[in-house]
Structure 1
Amino acid sequence: MAEDPDVVSRRIAREALDRDDPTGWFEHLYSAASEGTAVVPWDRGTAHPLLSEWIDESQPDGTGQTALVIGAGTGWDAELIADRGYDTTAFDISPTAIETARRNHPDSKAHYVIADLLAPPDEWHRAFDLVVEIYTVQALPIPLQASAIEHVGELVAPGGTLLVIQAARPDDQADADIEGPPWPLTRAAIDSFATPDLRMIQLTESPSPVDPTVLRWRAEYLRD
């Protein structure tokens, strides 16, 4: 029987963490998936349902606006954003993920690039009208999450929107009790995306359709 994809991804992540390489496991996982020896647990073959839900509710018109998709993986979320008319940049730290995204979407309007959320290009600072962050922060070890959250917020342009989708956990659940990945976010962590000029304007918590015991945050922020 094939191993559970979550078990495989955790083993690959643990090996990287043991090498003091907390982000290196993304490339190892995508590379193994491309060779058929692993499955990327979050690669759904379609855009995330909570992103699709937000699109249906908000009906954004991206004409003349820019968007950035963080941790784009194989590109399904970026394709949905690009289809709304945004000039879309989508990045991942994994070269194999970006290569796969380009191969999956040969006629894409999105620009797929390799980049690191923890060290983004200077020209991206407050440069995007829409920033979409789905499951990247929670895939990072808890000690890195505060820095990642800060970097996410600094990508949003004045007047821009940030959409964040993450797995949820109770505030009273100790960090030591979480065996990631993922390392789900507390309400306090979700609140910490907000700054004096980046205001949370909507927050929902909903169960996963696959496992109702797993809750997910969907948060929207607006930069003044």
Structure 2
Amino acid sequence: MSKIKLNVLGISYSQTQTGAYALVLTEEHGERRIPIIIGGFEAQAIAIQLEGLKPPRPLTHDLFLNFAMSFGVNLVEVNIYRLEEGVFYSKLICNNGGKDIVIDARTSDAIALALRFKCPIYTSEEILQKSGIVIDIQERSETKTKKAEPIDIEEKKTTSSPKSNKYKNLDIDALEELLAEAIKKEEYEKASIIQNEIKKRKSQ
């Protein structure tokens, strides 16, 4: 069975389940996207890595990375191999220097680990046919001209929100102080919003 490589496009609020998030994966050489519903904790773990935030203390997935590397175990790839009743099944392909080890994992955890180990994520054509969403013509054009940015996990259906508007009157120095404070307090959702505002200012 041929493998198709996937990339993490971003995270947004789920429009179908209250309190949940949609993790969006996209095929590397194609136009289909796979939305996967995940919980808030897993969304935060993925968003932290996408945004390049460094927590003051290791989180669960960071601990797994440190533990594995300390004992010479590397995560070689993540494989999303099955879709049943809306649930995606994944496995971790690990290597200890001598042989491959296959470990069953929730897809949300597998993606969070793949981002930390910087390993590829794969799926099959069958799963893409079942769950893949083809982007429309306008999105396709934008994708070719602009690299997709991680979707802020605080982003709602409206283009502006009170949580982001309150930072618009602050200068970059003040925003960077707030960012450092949010990271120190482990308020990662708030840190993500502030960091996006800083990036927006610096790109203008």
Structure with the bigger RCO (C-alpha within 8 Å, sep 6+) is 2
Q: Which TM-score bucket, shorter chain as reference?
A: under 0.3
Structure with the higher fraction of residues in helix conformation: 2
**Could you state the TM-score of these two structures normalised by the residue count of structure 2?**
0.24
**Greater Rg by CA:** 2
